[in-house]
Structure 1
Amino acid sequence: MSRVLENLEPKAVFSFFEDMTQIPRCSGNEKAISDYLVEFAKKRSLEVIQDEALNVIIKKPGTKGYENAPTVILQGHMDMVCEKNKDTDHDFSTDPLKLRVVDDMLMATGTTLGADNGIAVAYALAILDSNEISHPPLEVLITTEEETGMGGANSLDPSNLKGKILINIDSEEEGTLLVSCAGGIRNIISIPIEWNDSPKDYLVYDLRVRGLKGGHSGMEINKERGNSNIILGRVLKEISTNNDIYLAAISGGAKMNAIPRESDAVLLVNSNGRAKVEEEIAEWNKIIGNELKTADPDLRIELELSNSTYEKVFSKETMKKVLTALVLIPNGVQTMSMEIEGLVQSSTNLGVLTTTEKEVSLECAIRSSVRTLKLDIVRKMEALADLIGARTSSEGDYPAWEYRKDSYIREVFVDTYKRMYGKEPIITAIHAGLECGLFDEKLDNVDMISLGPNMYDVHTPNEHVSISSTKRVWEYLLEVLKSIK
């Protein structure tokens, strides 16, 4: 069977990555990929630990001349965000990803690629598999459920690791080294639904928001891209103010930590007012299209008459509560850092909007590099919930990774970069959650840094990674390991 990536360099890295794209590994469904990693280690007679959270630790002694070098932890996560386009027929629990190469870019077809963070795992496996690469003693740590609250890192038993240097390979910009990251928390507002019988002689419409770019809710929150859930709420609020409508369902987004690209609502419209509603939707296409003409030029707000029937609709009071929440909920950049130019300090992302028989849920990712500001946003969510008679809950709280003034591994990375490229790398922080925040708490006095190749549109079906950048970062990483003695 021919392989799509067999001619790409570095061969070992892309070979292992292609293997992983054939194995289900959505967050929360990592058993198969975890077992694959354990079997990989056993075949090579390497020490391996698989814990109850399915985290995998593989240990390999230092090569000749590096036996007494400090132990290095190479770290990434095995899970991926599983998103697909509405028109893509793909079952992430069984179907392999359909890979394609376009010029210098590797991507999947209609789905996320999982380079976040499969590239890290592929790097680590290629190093472990080789007998030619010089390196210090290694502890390769591959965690689970990073994308849904860092469950694997939370469950990690630190006694299984001895290294005091950790290289996280979960960044997305070549030449930029991360030395600090934001903390975060997941917040959910749940609005109880009061159902009424559907009114007679009303027309059923499907209202859709489409064409947005979406993106990573940390890395790309500062790009002012449209949030389909927020847009849908804004439009519905205005339409409901001026027209006799009812709401039967509302939903949008797939992952808390991805800026939602698509949202849907089912409206029942008084037949006498259909022309006015259709005109207003056309006008809102122009209004929001103008606002997002640079950030999201392909935005579409679609209104289509439906043949479906609905026996129940939200009561007017429930609809008012839901739309009030959607227009008042904090979303997007909240504060900017005054210490690091251009760094988002705090943000929120209304990532998932769902309707069940009992309630409408608004699920948000809250991020901040300042713990008290993170908690302040949670309090605002709680105040909003109190205002509309809803309940709120928070979970998956993870800490920030604070900047370390003196860092041996940072010096090694900088010196190696200058030697290879004749210039210094960019040293910065990131407004996204890395597992480094948890490792900073769990692993006493660990010295950390994060890097990775150029990736684009992660957490979306347009996710792609640069092939040439993957090769350069691989060569850079090997030189760094060779320099640690």
Structure 2
Amino acid sequence: MYDSLQKLNEIPVFHFFSEISQIPRCSGNEKEISDYLVRFAHERNLEVIQDETLNVIIKKPATQGYEQGPTVIIQGHMDMVCEKNEGTIHDFNKDPLKLRIQDDMLYATDTTLGADNGIAVAYALALLDSTDIPHPALEVVITTEEETTMKGALSVDPSHFEGKMLINIDSEEDDKLLVSSAGGLQTILEIPIIEETERAGYESFTLSVKGLIGGHSGIEIDQERGNALKIIGRLLYDLSTDFSFVIQQIRGGMASNAIPREVFVTIAFPEGEVDSLQEKIQIWTNTLKNEFAISDPDVFVELKREEGSLSTCFSEETTRKVITALMLLPNGIQNMSMELKGLVESSVNVGVVDTTKTSIIIESDVRSSVKSRKYAITEQSRLVAESLDCKFTVTSDYPEWPYNPDSALRQLFEKVYFEREGKEIEVIAVHAGIECGIFIEKIPGLDAISIGPDTFDVHTPNEHVSIPSMLNNWEYFLAVLKEMK
């Protein structure tokens, strides 16, 4: 039992995890954490490079007796998904995470924990800070914007590296070796807003879908959890068959790679039909509780009358386009792997909808371990956009990580695990975007593996990591380095 953060922080890995938890590091806001890593290296007289996208590379010479060993690249990302529970007062741009222990798990309080991928940063810092851990020459690279655009890894200059072995620490299952992952990209559909003045005899209401669990759009896409944006599309379409209303504002989801838990739509609705609307909302809550009884039993729809009213609203045409896009954009599992039982091969997550001054933005995350299917899903979404006369953009296209049957690095990890545990380690592939594929494309002949401790509910405010697993995985990692003479 771990009952004190103070005692836990006496362990180097947890000390550094706690330290970086004080620093803002949402995707796209990594300057402060990047500068912290540079200072860390300077204070220890280690060679450090900070590039234009704020990636940080820190190099440490081999310890005595390991000078002839292979140079090893240690890799993770410094950014995190920033989500919080509704009503939580927390500014991710300046407020530290409030860590807490529950049983043998480490949580943040009402926010994401950032174990994805603060674990990699903590491991790397503890290793770089050490004076008694045997290891070969190290090239630690901590990238930016992994959770949003993969911009950091995509922009890394491969000439900075000598190593041909890469250990990525962005996996989320202990006692398993990750050897392959999906490629992915992001799509952005922009619906231009045509406005009209507020309608006489109409009231403003906010429709909300709440109570969903959400989760990582790669790791947990096979859990069939409810997607708030797809649900609100269905609800609005159903309402449009019985009532005349227009949308005034819509927002939902926090990141394209997180299954959206909540959505809020403000609509202008006829005053005389409010009772019928309320009855319809109750029917929808009952319907959703039935549909998602297993995956999201707490889902509900909420209707709230707005005291003031917006001076304008979307035109009927714009309202129709929003509803149509949310209804028709592909979402969820598209294909299952025929090679690895239970592995999702291709999926898409409609992750974010937001209203700007000129347009409604819908962002989706497409994943596949088969490149052609990744692009087929993308073209399906493009056709939806074109049929609605909307702008469609593809960004952050990153490659899949193919399985390497001849990986010497995998064999070394398997050997060390067997010697420690007396059994074979499970080798897995994952339906998530891991930066290994990008580095393999950049560095010819690179051999890669990914490890990490048991982490749960990532990309949600319930994110937590197993403390014993974090320590066990750390010791396993060090045992492998010790073998690399």
Deviations 1:78-106 (A, max 9, x none): 11111112211111111111111111111
Q: Is the 8 A contact 1:80 1:116 kept in 2?
A: yes
State the alpha-carbon separation in 2 of the partners of residues 322 and 35 from structure 1: 41
The match for 1:451 is: 451
Q: For 2:6, what is the secondary structure of its paired residue?
A: coil
Deviation (angstroms), 1:244: 2.3
Matched, 1:245 2:245: yes
Written as runs of structure 1 = structure 2, the 5 A alignment for 1:399-478 is 399-478=399-478
The match for 1:340 is: 340
Q: For 2:471, what is the secondary structure of its paired residue?
A: helix
State the alpha-carbon separation in 2 of the partners of residues 213 and 10 from structure 1: 34
Deviation (angstroms), 1:436: 0.6
Larger displacement relative to structure 2 (353-362 or 441-450) = 353-362
Deviation (angstroms), 1:9: 7.1
Matched, 1:314 2:306: no
Q: Is the 8 A contact 1:10 1:471 kept in 2?
A: no
Q: Is the 8 A contact 1:117 1:170 kept in 2?
A: yes
User: TM-score, normalized by length of structure 2?
Assistant: 0.98
Q: For 1:6, what is the secondary structure of its paired residue?
A: helix
Written as runs of structure 1 = structure 2, the 5 A alignment for 1:330-409 is 330-409=330-409
Deviation (angstroms), 1:203: 2.1
Q: Is the 8 A contact 2:208 2:301 kept in 1?
A: yes
Deviation (angstroms), 1:251: 1.2
Q: For 1:417, what is the secondary structure of its paired residue?
A: helix
Deviations 1:55-99 (A, max 9, x none): 111111211221100111111111111111221111111111111
Q: Is the 8 A contact 2:9 2:18 kept in 1?
A: no
State the alpha-carbon separation in 1 of the partners of residues 134 and 163 from structure 2: 17
Q: For 1:207, what is the secondary structure of its paired residue?
A: strand
Deviation (angstroms), 1:237: 0.6
The match for 1:57 is: 57
Written as runs of structure 1 = structure 2, the 5 A alignment for 1:28-427 is 28-427=28-427
Q: Is the 8 A contact 2:9 2:15 kept in 1?
A: no
State the alpha-carbon separation in 1 of the partners of residues 345 and 363 from structure 2: 20
Q: Is the 8 A contact 1:9 1:471 kept in 2?
A: no
Deviation (angstroms), 1:10: 7.2
Task: Give 1:340's aligned amino acid.
Answer: L
State the alpha-carbon separation in 2 of the partners of residues 388 and 122 from structure 1: 47
Q: For 1:204, what is the secondary structure of its paired residue?
A: strand
Unpaired segments ≥5 residues, structure 1: none
Q: For 2:87, what is the secondary structure of its paired residue?
A: coil
Count of aligned positions? 483
Task: Give 2:409's aligned amino acid.
Answer: I
State the alpha-carbon separation in 1 of the partners of residues 251 and 49 from structure 2: 41
Deviation (angstroms), 1:207: 0.6
Q: Is the 8 A contact 1:201 1:271 kept in 2?
A: yes
State the alpha-carbon separation in 2 of the partners of residues 28 and 4 from structure 1: 33
Larger displacement relative to structure 2 (403-412 or 195-204) = 195-204
State the alpha-carbon separation in 2 of the partners of residues 9 and 71 from structure 1: 30
Written as runs of structure 1 = structure 2, the 5 A alignment for 1:4-43 is 5-8=5-8, 11-43=11-43
Q: Is the 8 A contact 1:257 1:365 kept in 2?
A: yes
When the two chains are superposed, the root-mean-square deviation of aligned CA atoms in Å is 1.3
State the alpha-carbon separation in 2 of the partners of residues 10 and 59 from structure 1: 25
Task: Give 1:318's aligned amino acid.
Answer: T
User: TM-score, normalized by length of structure 1?
Assistant: 0.98
State the alpha-carbon separation in 2 of the partners of residues 279 and 241 from structure 1: 15
State the alpha-carbon separation in 2 of the partners of residues 454 and 413 from structure 1: 17
Q: Is the 8 A contact 2:85 2:110 kept in 1?
A: yes
State the alpha-carbon separation in 1 of the partners of residues 9 and 421 from structure 2: 20
Q: For 1:480, what is the secondary structure of its paired residue?
A: helix
Q: For 1:124, what is the secondary structure of its paired residue?
A: helix
Deviation (angstroms), 1:117: 0.6
State the alpha-carbon separation in 1 of the partners of residues 260 and 219 from structure 2: 14
Deviation (angstroms), 1:28: 1.4
Deviations 1:38-62 (A, max 9, x none): 1111111111111121111111121
Task: Give 1:370's aligned amino acid.
Answer: V
Q: Is the 8 A contact 2:12 2:126 kept in 1?
A: yes
Q: For 1:147, what is the secondary structure of its paired residue?
A: coil
State the alpha-carbon separation in 1 of the partners of residues 77 and 357 from structure 2: 35
User: Which contiguous aligned blocks of 4+ residues in structure 1 show a shift greater than 6 angstroms?
Assistant: none
Q: Is the 8 A contact 1:244 1:273 kept in 2?
A: no
State the alpha-carbon separation in 2 of the partners of residues 10 and 181 from structure 1: 35
Task: Give 1:315's aligned amino acid.
Answer: S
Deviations 1:96-153 (A, max 9, x none): 1111111111111111111111111111111111111111111111111111111111
Deviation (angstroms), 1:6: 2.8
Q: Is the 8 A contact 2:289 2:299 kept in 1?
A: yes
Unpaired segments ≥5 residues, structure 2: none
Deviations 1:138-197 (A, max 9, x none): 111111111111111111111111001100000001112111111111101111121112
